[in-house]
Amino acid sequence: MGGNGGGDLESNKSRGGPPAAYYTPSSPYHHHHDKQWTSWLIPMIVVANVAMFIVIMLVNDCPNNHNSTLEGDCVAKFLGRLSFQPLKQNPLFGPSSSTLEKLGALEWSKVVDDHQAWRLVSCIFLHAGVVHLLANMLSLVFIGIRLEQQFGFVRVGILYMLAGIGGSILSALFITNNISVGASGALFGLLGAMLSELLTNWTIYANKAAALFTLVIIILVNLAVGMLPHVDNFAHIGGFLTGFLLGFVLLMRPQFSWQERHNLPVNARGKSKYTIYQYVFWLLSVILLVVGFTVGLVMLFKGENGNKHCSWCHYLSCVPTSRWRCDDQ
């Protein structure tokens, strides 16, 4: 989800991308017989997010809705209605927290008390500022287009939305005092799906240990950066776990001996399209997804605060030091 806001808005963390060799046509991970899809959904999501940000800034209308005497001048006033809030209010070059809240930011009280469940989805398409938007959209293009080319728009679209919603649910359960916006939960879902796709399709890849090591390091570094203040790491974790499980369900490939059965001797041909462990991962993942979403939604709409059930979980989103406080929960 990225940035969460209250009195101020801070940046969503920058993300590393997948290993360079992971999805390139010349790499050992790509097979000549795989169908290559034309990527159009991910570019459309990027366009939708940019268009939504323009709408946000038009509604924000800093010159007419902001008291410059008390809080300073709008930034880039030559943009007119599109000019940004003073950097003291929003250092990401974006709107006010009240504008984001009005247009669908995730807020615990709105979801629970006012029954506005649609915010679990709308917040995925809102961003706290230009910096936040650029970081998320560049990451989405880098990761998402390659996935869509390999697995098609239907599977990647389902993955993106469910991971975003999974991130929203976990965020709403643990971040109860601030608003939260951004596509980071969905993006972490794509990273999680890349990891599970590598694991479930282990037999058809070369250099898999190197790819696995690189991908795990990228994920761990990004989750660690998410422990800084004002970054909604619960959305990252929720999105990642959702995407990781969905990868076992949606991105399963036939084993190599089945794919190459027409080019192999009869005794070397695969008897089964998928391996036993692929079926096991698929079943366990479906069960965990159904249970996780059900429990999460039931807890949320009962108005429960996840921090009361897990006294240490807040450290997953922010670790206090002598340089900063953690007061988001």
Q: Which of 39, 97, 180, 184 is catalytic?
A: 184
User: Exposed, middle or buried: residue 287 (CB in 10 Å: 0-12, 13-18, 19+)?
Assistant: exposed
- 232 forms beta bridges with 2
The answer to whether 216 and 223 have CB atoms below 8 angstroms apart is no
Residue 317 designated active-site: no
Q: Does the annotation mark 236 as catalytic?
A: yes
Q: Single out the catalytic residue among 97, 236, 285, 317.
A: 236
Q: Describe the crossing of helices 41-60 and 130-174 by its angle, rounded to 10 degrees.
A: 90
What are the residue ranges of helices labelled H in 251-275?
Answer: 256-259
Contacts of 2 (CB under 8 A, 6+ apart): 11, 12, 13, 127, 128, 132, 135, 136, 180, 181, 182, 183, 184, 231, 232, 235
Residue with tokens 């007119």: 80
Contact (CB, 8 A) for 12 and 231: yes
Q: Looking at the annotation, which residues are catalytic?
A: 184, 236
